[in-house]
Amino acid sequence: MTRATLLERSGELFRLSELLAEVVDGRAGRLVLIRGEAGIGKTSLLRSFCEGADRSARIVWAASEPLLTPRPLGPLLDIADAVAGDVQEALEVGAEPWDVAVALARELERRPATVLVFEDLHWADAATVDVLRVVCRRIGGVRVLILMTYREEELDPVHPLRFLLGELPGREPVTRMALPALSRDAVAQLALGSGIDAGELFRRTGGNAFYVTEAVAAGTESVPDSVRDAVLARAAGLSARARGVMEAIAVVPQETEVWLLEALVEGHPDKLEECLRSGMLRAGTATVAFRHELARLAIEGSLAPDRLVVLHRRALAALEERELGPTGLARLAHHAEAAGDTTAVLRVAPEAARHAAAVGAHREAADHYARALRFAGGLSAEDRVALLEPFAEECELSDTRTAEALVALDEALVIHRGRGDALKVGETQMSRGRLLVLCGQGAQAEAALRDAVEKLEQAQPGRELARAYASLSIRYMRASDGDPAIECARKAIELGDRVGDAKSVVMALNSIGCVEASRGLGVDKLQQSIDLAERAGLWAEVGRAYNNLCDSLQLRGEWDRHDRSCEEGIDYCQRRGLDYWLGRLESGLAASALARGRWDYAADAARRVLARSPPAYRLGSRSGSLVTLALVRARRGDPECWPLLDDAMQIAETIGELQYLAPVACARAETAWLEGRREAIATATDRAFALALERREPELLGRVALWRWRAGLLSEAPAAADELYRRQIDGDWKAAHERWRRRGCVYEAALCQAEADDHETLRRAFEQLTALGARPAAAIVARRLRERGAAGVPRGPRPRTQANPAGLTPRELEVLPLLIEGLPNNEIAERLVVAPKTVEHHVSAILRKLDIRNRAEASAAAARLGIHQPG
């Protein structure tokens, strides 16, 4: 990790800075033992610390080398020039380790303060360790901070470093640090904007910092060249038989049971212990596995094709003999494909897909069907359709492989038309239409759904036609003023009740509920559709109903009920593997936090959704999260708003529906307004305003109209706009303020007060916006106050001090004194009742804004800028 991307290491950096301060002050020498696996970030941590270390301290860096036979005293030879004097002389004459150690200790005693880094001591020779043992015994009286790094897993029981570690005390002057892997959130932050699925990246890397950053830099979830080279270099140090064992383990993605390993190597794996000492593997209870998936993939990718096939055939045979049951189907399918066994793939993969779907693992089910289709070239048309249609359904449920799913349905459509099966043609067109809706291809979706209804109306009316009516009603609900949607939905309910099809009734209730909610008539039918779908076991429809309910509550500003419903829906969708609806609901929670002034949470939640939603799909959740994150930045006056808004606009224009176009248009209008560019609001809102007038959707129409009114493009509110916006546009800011306040929307409430003319109300607006950290809006209100002759209005962004040139937010001003006090992130989080991750973001922002490199410099920088006075 580079300094710019060093995440989740602030606690370690702060502790190192504390220890160095003690050394510089002459209190005592200190020793820090830093352990962690290869690539975890030990070197990055030390480089970041040394870059920001006290300039009065000399920094000397030494490292051991991964030689088959280490150089005697190699690290000491590296630092000879830097320490010179007696040390250099002792090394030149070939002195014993004791003499070198004494010379080094004397040299350190003569210096004011030294940071002495010894990297990779797991590769150190015995003589070097002997020197360090002597120096460590004398460290109490020497002004030195010694930093040693090593890999625990590469120390065998008789390694010289083991004896040194055992001799050291468990307290001062020794500090032990174990660097953990990056969390899922940190990986998502690093992957943001790369187009890489952060969840998959975390799974493959295990949070290993080197693997993560290399993969992100290469823009791939597969093995980058740099990772492959590093892994293969470590494997090259194994004996030939140990490499054979390592290669056998590499063909098994899961943990490898010892009995399976014996089958793979055709005998007892007698070199397994050597493989474990390499540090690339971890041992379980009668199992062994790679620590990181990228390392496994690198070893597997280095094998010759014939060797791979042989190993996979052995694995397939051994697993089939064990009869592992449904839970072993995925393993069988994997090895069958890798072995090129067509018969086994077509026997096992569809069964594995059905099992995965039954337990809610829809993404995995789609993968298994795709595997079977790759081997289905010799099947009959009827047998291929039996794979194509469930594959498309699982893609729809998991929101993956949507382009492949459409191709599969197109092939199925050709087959059904060739057989003259009008019923199946209609069903397939209905499936295509639903998928096209999710892909944002509204016009094509409507054409497919109309064709489905037309074909199915020619056949005996049944559940297929009822579902086609319901699917078309969903499309109409999103693309018209609502009346066509209600008409289609009623047909679906009437026929669905007659033929006993709960799914069509649930879908139709969803459509009617959304239309009624948009007209201010309540959300009863949406709740009814959730209850009915749960009773009928219609998982996907429960997810859809929760999403529509939360969207409707969001439009109505019923945030408490919205958040409760979102959390219920998220829990349900997580348990059922409904990724598409899960992303939409999580995006809704981010929007709620934005509306209610919880901007840190809103930004974090939006980033998490974006990190898990590559641009190729999940358009709905991406659009909302892009808008939320952009507005947090715009309202705080932070940079990089417009790239997010441009991405959101591209999605909205692709889908072409008001529920996407209006929020993006309003966000672009607000950002332009905050930047003082009112003339840009017309272009930002023209299309959405015209569509909102046509649809007569009160909330969205009112929202767009309000920004056009602020730009001077409207003098009165459209009659169809929601009352809240009509009152605000008509000048009744007090009533509008009270409505916004009751909703908990403190930012919008303050903007209402900003429309007043009296000094007292404008000052309240200024204070509320300032407390939120809404610097641009606060500056606009401050300008209005000064124009009206108000005295004592702060010109800077922060009223808390006479000068805050760093531009810290109110929350950052709360964090700063606690940081200076020396509290770690978790204690700051407890004091402020926020998440530790939020504190880490604040600390990073403070360091950036104060232009300092570590916490130790914070007090002086804050005092220099007049933000904080010592004591």
- The pLDDT of 346-354, averaged and rounded, is 92
Tokens of 708: 């056009």
Q: State residue 854's pLDDT score.
A: 65
Nearest residue to 205 via CA among 180, 185, 182: 182
Q: State residue 797's pLDDT score.
A: 46
Tokens of 142: 């020497």
Q: State residue 270's pLDDT score.
A: 81
Phi, psi for residue 183 in degrees, rounded to 5: -75, 170
Phi, psi for residue 77 in degrees, rounded to 5: -65, -35
More confident residue, 66 or 347: 347
Q: State residue 796's pLDDT score.
A: 45
pLDDT-derived band of residue 218, with 50, 70 and 90 as boundaries? low
Q: What DSSP state is assigned to residue 794?
A: -
How far is C-alpha 521 from the geometric centre of its chain's CA atoms? 37
What CA–CA distances, in Å, run from 638 to 4, 81, 674, 675? Answer: 17, 47, 11, 11
What CA–CA distances, in Å, run from 635 to 317, 610, 650, 827? Answer: 61, 20, 22, 29
Residue 547 has pLDDT above 60, yes or no: yes
Please state, rounded to an integer, the average pLDDT across all residues of the chain.
83
pLDDT-derived band of residue 434, with 50, 70 and 90 as boundaries? confident
Residue 804 has pLDDT above 60, yes or no: no
What share of the chain has pLDDT > 90, as a percent?
Answer: 29
Residue 408 has pLDDT above 90, yes or no: yes
Please check whether residue 66 is in contact with residue 77, taking contact to mean a CB–CB distance below 8 angstroms. Answer: no
- The pLDDT of 290-310, averaged and rounded, is 86
What share of the chain has pLDDT > 70, as a percent?
Answer: 89
How far is C-alpha 259 from the geometric centre of its chain's CA atoms? 38
Weakest mean pLDDT among 389-398, 432-441, 696-705: 432-441
Buried b (16+ CB within 10 A) or exposed e, 386-425: bbbbbbbbbbbbbbbbbeebbebbebbbebbeeeeeebbb
- The pLDDT of 41-64, averaged and rounded, is 84
Please check whether residue 89 is in contact with residue 97, taking contact to mean a CB–CB distance below 8 angstroms. Answer: no
- The pLDDT of 749-758, averaged and rounded, is 91
Q: State residue 679's pLDDT score.
A: 92
Q: State residue 799's pLDDT score.
A: 36
- The pLDDT of 175-200, averaged and rounded, is 81
Q: State residue 310's pLDDT score.
A: 94
Q: State residue 751's pLDDT score.
A: 94
d(CA 176, CA 174): 7
What CA–CA distances, in Å, run from 236 to 120, 158, 242, 301, 763? Answer: 18, 22, 10, 15, 70
Tokens of 326: 């449904």
Residue 861 has pLDDT above 80, yes or no: no
Please check whether residue 630 is in contact with residue 671, taking contact to mean a CB–CB distance below 8 angstroms. Answer: yes
Q: State residue 870's pLDDT score.
A: 46
Nearest residue to 838 via CA among 607, 618, 639, 666: 607
The contacts found for 728-731 with CB under 8 angstroms, 24 or more apart, are 728/752, 728/755, 729/705, 731/755
Q: State residue 2's pLDDT score.
A: 41
Residue 837 has pLDDT above 70, yes or no: no
Residue 805 has pLDDT above 70, yes or no: no
d(CA 557, CA 561): 9
What CA–CA distances, in Å, run from 732 to 184, 274, 698, 719? Answer: 47, 79, 18, 16
Segment 271-298, tens digit of pLDDT: 888 888 887 788 888 889 887 777 888 8
Residue 562 has pLDDT above 60, yes or no: yes
Q: State residue 739's pLDDT score.
A: 92
d(CA 755, CA 784): 9
Residue 777 has pLDDT above 90, yes or no: yes
Tokens of 485: 């949607």
Weakest mean pLDDT among 63-77, 544-558, 682-696: 63-77
Buried b (16+ CB within 10 A) or exposed e, 599-629: bbbbbbbbbbbbbbbbeebbbbbbbbbbbbb
What CA–CA distances, in Å, run from 751 to 612, 677, 769? Answer: 34, 17, 8
pLDDT-derived band of residue 803, with 50, 70 and 90 as boundaries? very low
Segment 669-703, tens digit of pLDDT: 999 999 999 999 999 999 999 999 988 888 899 99
Please check whether residue 856 is in contact with residue 845, taking contact to mean a CB–CB distance below 8 angstroms. Answer: no
Please check whether residue 303 is in contact with residue 247, taking contact to mean a CB–CB distance below 8 angstroms. Answer: yes
Residue 719 has pLDDT above 80, yes or no: yes
Q: State residue 461's pLDDT score.
A: 86
* DSSP per position, 650-683: HHHHHH--HHHHHHHHHHHHHHHHHTT-GGGHHH
Q: State residue 181's pLDDT score.
A: 84
- The pLDDT of 373-391, averaged and rounded, is 93
Q: Is the dihedral of CA 650, 651, 655, 657 positive or negative?
A: negative
Please check whether residue 424 is in contact with residue 416, taking contact to mean a CB–CB distance below 8 angstroms. Answer: yes
Burial class (CB in 10 A: 0-12, 13-18, 19+), 575: exposed
More confident residue, 804 or 257: 257
SS (H, E, C) 162-230: HHHHHHCCCCCCEEEEECCCCCHHHHHHHHCCCCCCHHHHHHHHCCCHHHHHHHHHHCCCCCCHHHHHH
What CA–CA distances, in Å, run from 282 to 145, 218, 278, 285, 289? Answer: 33, 27, 10, 10, 6
Q: What is the dihedral of CA 281, 284, 287, 290, to 10 degrees?
A: -20
Nearest residue to 861 via CA among 44, 52, 21: 52
d(CA 629, CA 193): 13
- The pLDDT of 323-347, averaged and rounded, is 88
pLDDT-derived band of residue 833, with 50, 70 and 90 as boundaries? low
Residue 810 has pLDDT above 80, yes or no: no
Residue 522 has pLDDT above 70, yes or no: yes
Tokens of 141: 């009286």
Residue 802 has pLDDT above 50, yes or no: no
What CA–CA distances, in Å, run from 172 to 176, 418, 576? Answer: 10, 82, 51
Look at residue 354 and give its three-state secondary structure: helix
Q: State residue 481's pLDDT score.
A: 65
Burial class (CB in 10 A: 0-12, 13-18, 19+), 808: buried
* DSSP per position, 392-453: HHHHHHHT--HHHHHHHHHHHHHHHHHTT-HHHHHHHHHHHHHHHHHTT-HHHHHHHHHHHH
pLDDT-derived band of residue 222, with 50, 70 and 90 as boundaries? low
What CA–CA distances, in Å, run from 111 to 132, 142, 413, 525? Answer: 18, 9, 82, 79
Within 8 A by CB and 6+ apart from 240, the residues are none
Please check whether residue 112 is in contact with residue 144, taking contact to mean a CB–CB distance below 8 angstroms. Answer: no
pLDDT-derived band of residue 344, with 50, 70 and 90 as boundaries? very high
Please check whether residue 513 is in contact with residue 548, taking contact to mean a CB–CB distance below 8 angstroms. Answer: yes
Residue 30: beta bridge partners? 145
pLDDT-derived band of residue 867, with 50, 70 and 90 as boundaries? low
Q: What pTM was computed for the model? A: 0.60
More confident residue, 525 or 264: 264
Q: What DSSP state is assigned to residue 138?
A: T
d(CA 248, CA 296): 10
- The pLDDT of 121-127, averaged and rounded, is 81
- The pLDDT of 250-269, averaged and rounded, is 87
Burial class (CB in 10 A: 0-12, 13-18, 19+), 496: buried
What CA–CA distances, in Å, run from 44 to 7, 99, 151, 190, 665? Answer: 10, 33, 15, 15, 42
- The pLDDT of 518-542, averaged and rounded, is 85
Residue 791 has pLDDT above 80, yes or no: no
Within 8 A by CB and 6+ apart from 772, the residues are 597, 599, 635, 746, 747, 750, 810
More confident residue, 442 or 785: 785
Q: State residue 42's pLDDT score.
A: 86
d(CA 669, CA 52): 42
- The pLDDT of 362-369, averaged and rounded, is 85
Segment 606-661, tens digit of pLDDT: 887 886 655 444 566 788 999 999 999 999 988 788 989 999 998 888 888 888 89
Tokens of 114: 């030294």
d(CA 657, CA 103): 77
Phi, psi for residue 618 in degrees, rounded to 5: 55, 50
How far is C-alpha 304 from the geometric centre of its chain's CA atoms? 36
* Residue type at 630 in one-letter notation: A
